[in-house]
Amino acid sequence: MKDTVWKIGEAAAKEYLENNGYQIIEQNYQTKYSEIDLIVKKLVPPGGDNVLIFVEVRTKRSSTFVSPEESINQKKLKKLY
């Protein structure tokens, strides 16, 4: 069940980003210490600044609200460095 939930969440996030002007650069990118769910860039007009965005998809089975910032702990953040 847990596998299915995160796959659905990741697919929904990817679809949302693609439909809102983002280009998927990588999905499930493996680093030495961790995995980055999505690496995207915003499609900008010619001459605009391209910015890479690292996306951590958080999918929950319960209806209890937790802000995105609260759902990522320090251990997870350190793995990105």
- Give how far Cα 40 sits from Cα of 27, 56, 60, Å: 9, 11, 22
Neighbouring C-alpha atoms within 13 Å toward the C-beta of 70: 4
Q: Find out whether 27 and 6 touch, Cβ atoms under 8 Å.
A: no
Domain boundaries defined on the chain: 2-79
CA-based nearest residue to 55, from 2, 20, 1:
20
Task: Please enumerate, as own/partner, the contacts of 49-52 that have beta carbons within 8 Å and a separation of 24 or more.
Answer: 52/25
pTM value is 0.73
Residue 56 CA to residue 76 CA, distance in Å, equals 10
Please write the tens of the pLDDT for every residue from 5-32. Answer: 878 889 999 999 999 999 999 999 998 8
8 vs 38, residue with greater confidence? 38
pLDDT attached to residue 10:
92
